[in-house]
Chains A and B, each alone.
Chain A
């Protein structure tokens, strides 16, 4: 795998050993020591994935994440110091695709990075060529894009995969654990907030009224389902 990763982390030891571990796993690694430099680097190098520390000097990780989201759907995996609710939820709401809690062992980090990259492997050549309609929007599986009234809706790869996972089985309830397994690649006890925040972001992009969703429905106590056409 020759994916290029941008690692933005202020602590030199963590930055260096993480880079070493990622390179040993076959990635190409670029590093930055603060938020502003990281954003600068991201603009120039256009990496396949960004590993982003939350607490950064000059510009904090959340701000960097929001900046990246403004311009692109590059997957972002946050490195959070604590598993705190606030940190995690705010990070996910800033547009992060996944997070890894510090401290982490390299195999764990590599697994999360691979899972995030798998979602971005680009178009699926076996997918149907014609866009699939889903309510007022249409989903182009081959081109991995979603549009409403001919105008493209910018979805991150995670949001797109989540939408596809749900719309492939309209009316069928998928639990948070099932979605974590199929979209994020967690095989046991992922953080269900990943699903809830991503669903929230997805709704805010595709629903006419995100507070009163018509396309992606919540099933209390069970999970989510896509509305039947």
Chain B
């Protein structure tokens, strides 16, 4: 997790650790050094005193092994400060020691100390003597033996140990405090961030009235104010867009209404002229024929535009009551018979039942057939009803020129013209309308180029169920069950004889 909370905690803890370690180590080293310096100074003073005053006073005739055995000089040293002594006569024999456990300590004293002593100075070393931390200070007594005084340094080690423990405890407490503080700070910082995210989510979900609570004078108050300003501007933009869309839809509706009246007159007039074409003189007759055809084209275009504008205004919706179980086979047979009777029909024996609205099916399949008729005139068209549970397919395949592969995805766009020369007699809206109707029925349209040339447009619809034979709705009445039908549709649309 790389959230702000974690990053803040990590940073704060790291800072505390670095600080505590630096201060702790510094304190430790400082205190340790101070303790050692003061012990060393005392030890040196003591050694100096012993060598220059105590020893001459007790042994005016010189220091010898025999004198040392009797004199109790080492006891005098010990009395003056818990000091043990090693006296080295440099004669190859073992040194005289105040305590037998120090017998071998002489070998451990660093050469540098012995060299200093050799040169007539006081030498010292921090070392373990008889297994205990000690300070050893050595010096030569006149021309006589070398004296090494062993001062216990355990108190320094103990103090240092205590200090170390204290510092570690303090560091742990500081880290825990840092963690707690980072949580508190994070919560303080993130509360407005969290409320900001919640509000942004509500806005994204469509509640444009959501606003971040403002208040306070910190950076987040400014953030909240800016956020709310953005939301305000979004709200007003959306409102403006909605208003303009409503205006647009009203415009289309108004245009439709205004066009509808003169178009109604035109269509009626053209139909009357058409009925009387034979009475017209040859010159006017051709013009009248063209007029009739163009009025029909205009009507087609306006009808299609109006239909699409109803989809845009969401005025088109499927009412549950309009959906009925429909046998796709016989319905498609009727549609083909009325729109393109020359097409070859391939319909399965069994009824294919879909919940649909027959008028929408008529618009969809009819428009696909019109498209085939316009774009592949005189080509063989095959209309097929297929079932691939859980969907049913109506496939209209022609042997026309097909469509360029890059144009296929746009085939259901409005006014899309895959080939400018092929749109005569159609509005360019038919397939777009078919796609809208198909979507309302829960289905969809697909287009593909056929092997061997030509275009296939396929409607897929969800199959609801199969009707048991004998309970067929009337739409099946003219198709005895089990009859194969691949013959071209002909004659009147499917309808039972009265």
Residues of A within 8 A of B (CB): 11, 13-14, 17-18, 20-21, 24, 81-82, 84-85, 102-109, 173-175, 177-178, 181-182, 187-189, 191-192, 221-223
- B493 touching A104 by the CB < 8 A rule? no
Q: Name the residue among B268, B272, B325, B498 with the largest chain A CB count within 10 angstroms.
A: B268
Q: Does B267 contact A (CB under 8 A)?
A: yes
- A103 touching B473 by the CB < 8 A rule? no
Note all chain A residues with C-beta closer than 8 A to B322.
192
Q: Roughly how many angstroms separate A81 CA and B358 CA in the complex, as a whole number?
A: 22
- B275 touching A175 by the CB < 8 A rule? no
Q: Does B496 contact A (CB under 8 A)?
A: yes
Asked, given contacts A178-B496, A189-B359, whether A17 binds B272 with beta carbons under 8 Å apart, the answer is: yes
Note all chain A residues with C-beta closer than 8 A to B71.
none
Asked, given contacts A102-B260, A175-B475, whether A189 binds B362 with beta carbons under 8 Å apart, the answer is: yes
- B473 touching A181 by the CB < 8 A rule? no
- B257 touching A81 by the CB < 8 A rule? yes
- B493 touching A187 by the CB < 8 A rule? yes
Q: Does B495 contact A (CB under 8 A)?
A: yes
Residue from A14, A181, A189 within 8 A of B264 (CB atoms): A14
Q: What is the distance, in angstroms, from B42's C-beta to the closest C-beta of chain A?
A: 112
Note all chain B residues with C-beta closer than 8 A to A181.
495, 498
Q: What is the distance, in angstroms, from A88's C-beta to the closest C-beta of chain B?
A: 12
- Per DSSP, are chain B's interface residues mostly helix, strand or loop, or mixed? helix
Residue from B272, B325, B495 within 8 A of A21 (CB atoms): B272
- A178 touching B474 by the CB < 8 A rule? yes
Known A21-B271, A105-B267, A177-B474; 15 more pairs at CB < 8 Å:
A11-B265, A17-B272, A24-B275, A81-B261, A82-B260, A102-B264, A103-B264, A106-B271, A178-B474, A187-B493, A188-B338, A188-B493, A188-B495, A189-B359, A221-B324
A193: nearest chain-B partner, CB-CB: B322
Q: Does B3 contact A (CB under 8 A)?
A: no
Note all chain B residues with C-beta closer than 8 A to A108.
271
Asked, given contacts A102-B260, A181-B495, whether A13 binds B473 with beta carbons under 8 Å apart, the answer is: no
Note all chain A residues with C-beta closer than 8 A to B334.
188
**Chain B 250-294 against A: per-residue CB contact (8 Å), 1 yes, 0 no?**
000000110011111111111110010000000000000000000
- A17 touching B269 by the CB < 8 A rule? yes
- B268 touching A104 by the CB < 8 A rule? yes
Q: Roughly how many angstroms separate A221 CA and B262 CA in the complex, as a whole number?
A: 40
Q: Roughly how many angstroms separate A221 CA and B268 CA in the complex, as a whole number?
A: 37
Note all chain B residues with C-beta closer than 8 A to A21.
268, 271-272, 275
Q: Does B314 contact A (CB under 8 A)?
A: no
Asked, given contacts A17-B272, A181-B498, whether A175 binds B473 with beta carbons under 8 Å apart, the answer is: yes
Asked, given contacts A81-B260, A175-B474, A221-B473, whether A103 binds B272 with beta carbons under 8 Å apart, the answer is: no
Q: Does B444 contact A (CB under 8 A)?
A: no
- A103 touching B474 by the CB < 8 A rule? no
- B268 touching A103 by the CB < 8 A rule? yes
- Could you write out 13 A-B pairs with CB less than 8 Å apart? A13-B265, A17-B268, A17-B269, A85-B319, A102-B264, A103-B299, A104-B264, A105-B271, A107-B275, A178-B495, A178-B496, A187-B493, A188-B495
Q: Roughly how many angstroms separate A222 CA and B322 CA in the complex, as a whole number?
A: 12
Q: Does B80 contact A (CB under 8 A)?
A: no
Q: Roughly how many angstroms separate A14 CA and B260 CA in the complex, as a whole number?
A: 11
Q: What is the distance, in angstroms, from A23's C-beta to the closest C-beta of chain B?
A: 10
Q: Name the residue among A84, A104, A191 with the largest chain B CB count within 10 angstroms.
A: A104
- A13 touching B358 by the CB < 8 A rule? no
Size of B's binding interface in residues, CB under 8 A: 36
A16: nearest chain-B partner, CB-CB: B265
Note all chain A residues with C-beta closer than 8 A to B263.
103
Q: Roughly how many angstroms separate A222 CA and B269 CA in the complex, as a whole number?
A: 40
**Chain B 343-370 against A: per-residue CB contact (8 Å), 1 yes, 0 no?**
0000000000000001100100000000
Q: Name the residue among A14, A109, A174, A187 with the largest chain B CB count within 10 angstroms.
A: A14
Q: Roughly how many angstroms separate A17 CA and B362 CA in the complex, as a whole number?
A: 31
Q: Does B492 contact A (CB under 8 A)?
A: yes
Note all chain B residues with C-beta closer than 8 A to A103.
260, 263-264, 266-268, 299
Note all chain A residues with C-beta closer than 8 A to B265.
11, 13-14, 17
Note all chain B residues with C-beta closer than 8 A to A222.
473-474
Asked, given contacts A14-B265, A81-B257, A221-B325, whether A107 binds B271 with beta carbons under 8 Å apart, the answer is: yes
B16-53 CB contacts (< 8 Å) to partner A: none
Q: Which 10 A-B residue pairs are closest in the complex by CB-CB distance?
A: A103-B267, A105-B271, A13-B265, A175-B474, A103-B264, A106-B271, A102-B264, A17-B268, A14-B265, A17-B269
- A187 touching B271 by the CB < 8 A rule? no
Q: Roughly how many angstroms separate A187 CA and B497 CA in the complex, as a whole number?
A: 11
- A11 touching B264 by the CB < 8 A rule? yes
Q: Roughly how many angstroms separate A25 CA and B474 CA in the complex, as a whole number?
A: 35
Note all chain B residues with C-beta closer than 8 A to A106.
268, 271-272, 275
Note all chain B residues with C-beta closer than 8 A to A189.
358-359, 362
Note all chain B residues with C-beta closer than 8 A to A221.
324-325, 473
Asked, given contacts A104-B264, A189-B358, A189-B359, whether A177 binds B325 with beta carbons under 8 Å apart, the answer is: no
Q: What is the distance, in angstroms, from B132's C-beta to the closest C-beta of chain A?
A: 107
Q: What is the distance, in angstroms, from A101's C-beta to the closest C-beta of chain B?
A: 10
Q: What is the distance, in angstroms, from B257's C-beta to the closest C-beta of chain A?
A: 7
A181: nearest chain-B partner, CB-CB: B495
Note all chain B residues with C-beta closer than 8 A to A187.
492-493, 495
Note all chain B residues with C-beta closer than 8 A to A107.
271, 275
Q: Roughly how many angstroms separate A21 CA and B269 CA in the complex, as a whole number?
A: 8
Q: What is the distance, in angstroms, from A114's C-beta to the closest C-beta of chain B?
A: 15
Q: Name the residue among A18, A103, A105, A223 with the largest chain B CB count within 10 angstroms.
A: A103
Residue from B261, B299, B324 within 8 A of A14 (CB atoms): B261
Note all chain A residues with C-beta closer than 8 A to B496.
178
- B474 touching A105 by the CB < 8 A rule? no
- B268 touching A18 by the CB < 8 A rule? yes
Note all chain A residues with C-beta closer than 8 A to B257.
81
Q: Roughly how many angstroms separate A84 CA and B334 CA in the complex, as a whole number?
A: 25
A79: nearest chain-B partner, CB-CB: B264
